[in-house]
Amino acid sequence: MERNNLYPIFLKLKNLEVLIVGGGYVAEEKLTFLLKSSPDAKVTMIAPRYRKGTIDVAEKGDVTMIEGNYEEAYLKGKHIVIATTNVPEVNLQVYEDCSVQSKLVNVADNPPYCDFYMGGIVTKGNVKIGISTNGKSPTTAKRLRQFFEEVIPENIDDLVKNLNKYRKTIKGNFEQRVETLNEFTKGLVEKV
């Protein structure tokens, strides 16, 4: 059986520079989900032209839009790059340039040219769940996201905040505190 060997991490995009190459529908989709999950992300976009929808989304965040063609120089200072053009040669060039410079890159809809995937994300206050299908089925990730958004209660954030307050009152070493919290919260996952 095939296994998903991806390592999930949660990035502080306000501390990183993101570049999106392209200005069409796919760029708009990636930007929309990126800003939905990380409204304080710093993003630069480069494209010869932009869809009106892409411009509308960009105006909601800290997004710099440059009109022009991709050049390797646009990678300077960027940590994460997303290539979304409808020109395969441009996307491949972005991938190759990023690989040489050890920059994380995602060529949209082309898993062999991705260091990371932009999976489904569920956010309820301080709780965030990332969903990955190993690049195999974005539709499945979308349906799972919809499922979790429905079943996770809106007040889950109250639980998180209360547990954080309780955690600060627990005495003992790290192992004892973890054991106390595990005992206190095990009812959350017990099957009836």
Q: CA torsion sign, 121 to 3 to 105 to 27?
A: negative
Which pair of tokens denotes residue 101? 């410079």
**pTM of the entire structure?**
0.84
Each domain of the chain, given as residue ranges in start order, spans: 13-118, 119-152, 157-188
**CA dihedral for 52, 54, 57, 62, sign (positive or negative):** negative
Per-residue pLDDT of the chain (192 residues; tens, 9 = 90+): 888 888 889 999 999 999 999 999 999 999 999 999 999 999 999 999 999 999 999 999 999 999 999 999 999 999 999 999 999 999 999 999 999 999 999 999 898 999 998 888 898 888 899 998 887 888 898 899 999 999 888 888 888 887 778 778 888 888 887 787 777 777 776 654
* Rg of the chain, C-alpha, whole Å: 20
Distance CA(56)–CA(47), nearest Å, equals 15
For 13-118, the fitting CATH number among 3.40.50.300, 3.40.50.720, 1.10.10.10, 3.90.1150.10 is 3.40.50.720
